[in-house]
Structure 1
């Protein structure tokens, strides 16, 4: 039997150069004082202390987590029925529907977000429709609602595709067995379909929550600078303020938060797999 372990070395080297090395550089910047040289530098944890002792940064972190949770919940509520509908179609129809879901993703996310500026503006289509129902005076652009709409629109396909994949892999004979045992459609869904699709739900939650909590250009474009999230703070520290050390510290904190959340999600997924 041939040993293919050596084929993994190029991938390991690529990961070390493209992933591990940048993270090490960011960590090095986060524990260095501003203006230190590479050869001679002094370690400090003031950047981390500054973040956790400043109520404004903690408020922005909480706001980022809150809007990411809202985005994930909305994507789950909208995505599961759509994925369930797609999974129960014939193969030909299912492929067409999946193509319709993935087709907008072929366009750059930044371009798609720019399109929502026109839709949510005071003279846009959505405002015109709201005006018909007497809500024309409400401004949607540059609000939390606009940011949520942009995030849900961009990340909803990830939720749908993951849940649809889990539903398509489900053994259909289990549904027939449930019906033979006298269970109605609601009981079958709650006791058979939904538990078996939890792996897709967990994967969808991961793929939606992680980019939502660190997104910076969606709140920047649709929030108009009035809705500041943690991703905008990091961008501002690097590009505008020029405090790379503090920006690196915030980046490391967010990386740690994401890693903890991923470990939690994997633990929940493994636990649900054992129960199945």
Structure 2
């Protein structure tokens, strides 16, 4: 047992070294530079927070990520739940559908969405069929959200499916045998148990959505830029590594703060949902 634990501890060392060198070290260098360039202090952070444009970009970025998470939940939860209900063959087919997007690169999918969302594209044709004529989603935040949701939806489904498959479905049958209807059994028994998995999937999608660069750069408008684009412009156009580091630091701190609040809210939310009886009675 001790040898097994020792081997496991030693086996993770290469991964830790890679993470340290290629992830933590660059972040540390950028953050240190944001505090020391051009002079030590919080000047870069104060300047960033005092800029209304920066605050608007941060708000737009978090709002876009949140909308993407909600859309992925609305589409991904039923799909993942369906995967737990069907047989092995149908589940394998559904899994293939989820994995197909990973067979193409992010750049290829983004260019595909450029064609789909342009004024004369298929999406505009569908909208025109329903009466919304002369609508183009390319160059809009809505188009960016649609593309982000399509790209991140597999992450939501795969993470959710892992969590939902671990829930013992016999509990639903037990709840129904005690007088609960299907919806009430799902609401009070199944849904609360799925919240940790839902939180993990939402966290993954939210973090990935915050860092999107290529998709909003190619599909969106410069007037509706996201924070990754602004950071890239700081580095590429004006070579302001300190300013880019300050923006990264603000994004990091804000994200950690939001996740701390979300973690604290998961427990009470889980208990609250379990106590709510559909129909208004308790």
- Taking structure 2 as the reference length, the TM-score comes to 0.88
Question: Structure 1: how far apart are the matches of 2:65 and 2:216?
Answer: 12
Q: How far does residue 273 in structure 1 lie from its aligned partner after superposition?
A: 8.2
Q: How far does residue 57 in structure 1 lie from its aligned partner after superposition?
A: 0.7
Conserved 8 A contact 1:76-1:205? yes
**SS across alignment from 1:170:** coil
The answer to whether 1:115 aligns with 2:112 is yes
Alignment of 1:84-95 (within 5 A): 84-95=81-92
Q: Which moved more, 1:128-137 or 1:159-168?
A: 128-137
**SS across alignment from 2:256:** helix
1:20 maps to 24
Alignment of 1:57-206 (within 5 A): 57-206=54-203
Number of residue equivalences: 269
Question: Structure 2: how far apart are the matches of 1:61 and 1:26?
Answer: 19
CA deviation map 1:63-98 (0-9, x unaligned)? 111111111111111211111112211122112101
CA deviation map 1:105-127 (0-9, x unaligned)? 22111210110110111111111
1:228 maps to 225
**SS across alignment from 2:222:** coil
Conserved 8 A contact 1:116-1:150? yes
CA deviation map 1:26-48 (0-9, x unaligned)? 112212324xxxxxxx4232111
2:211 maps to 214
CA deviation map 1:211-266 (0-9, x unaligned)? 11222222111113232111111011011221111011111221222333344444
Residues 133 and 273 of structure 1: CA distance in aligned 2, closer, same or farther (over 3 Å):
closer
Q: How far does residue 136 in structure 1 lie from its aligned partner after superposition?
A: 2.4
Question: Structure 2: how far apart are the matches of 1:115 and 1:269?
Answer: 37
1:53 maps to 50
Conserved 8 A contact 2:192-2:270? no
The answer to whether 1:251 aligns with 2:224 is no
Conserved 8 A contact 1:206-1:265? no
Question: Structure 2: how far apart are the matches of 1:148 and 1:105?
Answer: 19
Structure 1: gaps (5+ residues): 35-41
Structure 2: gaps (5+ residues): 275-282
